[in-house]
Amino acid sequence: MSNFMEAAVLPAFGAATVFRIEKVPVPLPAAGQVLVKVRAAGLNPVDYKTRMGKGVAAANITLPAILGWDIAGEVVSLGDGVSKFERGDRIFGLSNFPQPGNAYAQYTVVDENEFAIIPKNITNIEAGATPLAALTAWEALFDQAGIVAGQRVLVHAASGGVGHFAVQLAKCKGCFVAGTASARNQEFLRSLGVDVAIDYHTQAFESTIEPVDVVIDGIGGETALRSLDILKPGGILVSLPSMYKDDPAVIAKAREKDVKVKWMSVRPDGDRMEKIATLLSAGQIKVKIDSTFPLKEVTKAHQLLESNHVTGKVVLTV
């Protein structure tokens, strides 16, 4: 194996065209880490926000940097003390977030505690698409909102990366689930199992369904404010876009309406990845791939994701 590898390097914050494919040294795994031959790197909105120099992850990187946090690949070598994995294992996880994850490369090092074995029936592309979005949906529904069977849940951007996992996880739990997306994604929402699919262009969600216990909001701003009108007293809004964190208008209206509002920041978690792997393996949740691009076409992948209208996930293949 050469000591050098190809990576998509971010030399400066900027437009999607800023990436350069360069030869850089292959990293060495420290104690508790494994070296992974990256097969697929999933993209998330935080990738392009960071590329632009925005948000918490941008504050944590030193340029030039290698972006990306969702990784699926094979274990190549082990750092000291690694006990969870062996060479050749196929593993997936959210790496080091919100510190640099270095996923857009042929090799990267990851913490064994943040990763899990990829189920045999799941492809590398599916595995690379899953971690950040599925971990976010899980944390929003189960840790932040504490959903229980029989509750009513509304998921905004239900056709997106987080939303499509949130719909499936809430249905697995035995909830009534409504989801919002545009007309072209209504059939996709029904395929995920929603009880009601709402076209946000033509239907006001507040007047389309009865009040709900929980809203998972992947949009923020006006959508978060309006969502407070459809919560039952004591209900919970979990809002995801960090640019709207602690929105004073939302906090004031939530107090007035006697509902709770929470913002969260997803964390890597290998134990939880194992639970997600079990659900994937059993076919209880599925990941929808919108598009894949080879690493050298990272610019096109970012441009597509930035359109804010992907169905499911965009993945780089390495």
Ligand X SMILES: NC(=O)c1ccc[n+]([C@@H]2O[C@H](COP(=O)([O-])OP(=O)(O)OC[C@H]3O[C@@H](n4cnc5c(N)ncnc54)[C@H](OP(=O)(O)O)[C@@H]3O)[C@@H](O)[C@H]2O)c1
Distance in angstroms (rounded) separating the CA atoms of residues 4 and 229: 55
Residue closer to ligand X by CB (options 65, 133) is: 133
User: Is residue 161 a contact point for ligand X (CB under 6 A)?
Assistant: yes
Given 181, 231, 279, 318, the residue binding ligand X (CB under 6 A): 181
> 283: number of CA atoms within 13 Å, CB side?
1
Question: How many amino acids of this chain bind ligand X (CB under 6 A)?
Answer: 33
Residue 192 in the binding site for ligand X (CB under 6 A): no
Is residue 219 within the footprint of ligand X (CB under 6 A)? yes
Which residues, 6 or more positions from 203, have their beta carbon under 8 angstroms from its beta carbon? Answer: none
C-alpha 31/C-alpha 46 separation (Å) is 28
Contacts of ligand X in 118-137 (CB under 6 A): 132-133, 136
- Provide the token pair at 308: 């804010």
Among 58, 200, 254, 272, binds ligand X (CB under 6 A): 200
Q: Which of 9, 41, 44, 304 binds ligand X (CB under 6 A)?
A: 44
State how far the Cα of 39 lies from the Cα of 130, in Å rounded to an integer: 14
- Regarding 218 and contact with ligand X (CB under 6 A), the answer is yes
Nearest-angstrom CA–CA distance, 204 and 189:
17
CA distances in angstroms from 252 to 20, 234, 241, 255, 256, listed in the order given: 45, 15, 18, 5, 6
The residue (of 26 and 155) whose beta carbon lies closer to ligand X is 155
Which residues lie across from 225 on neighbouring strands?
none
Chain position carrying tokens 């809002």: 239
By CB under 6 A, residue 180 contacts ligand X: yes
Given candidates 264, 286, 291, 297, which one binds ligand X under the rule CB under 6 A? 264
Tell me: does residue 159 bind ligand X (CB under 6 A): yes
Are 131 and 70 in contact, with CB atoms under 8 Å apart? yes
Q: Which helix H or strand E contains 167, and what residues bound it?
A: helix 161-172
Q: Whose Cβ is closer to ligand X: residue 29's or residue 179's? A: 179
Q: Does 266 bind ligand X (CB under 6 A)?
A: yes
d(CA 291, CA 105): 19
Q: Does 311 bind ligand X (CB under 6 A)?
A: yes
Least Å distance, CB 290 to ligand X, is: 8
Q: How is residue 144 written in tokens?
A: 């932040």
Question: Which of 39, 90, 152, 156 lies at the binding interface for ligand X (CB under 6 A)?
Answer: 156
Q: Which stretch binds ligand X (CB under 6 A): 44-52, 72-80, 122-130, 206-214?
A: 44-52
Binding residues for ligand X, per CB under 6 A? 44-46, 132-133, 136, 156-157, 159-163, 180-182, 184-185, 200, 218-219, 223, 240-242, 264-266, 305, 308-311
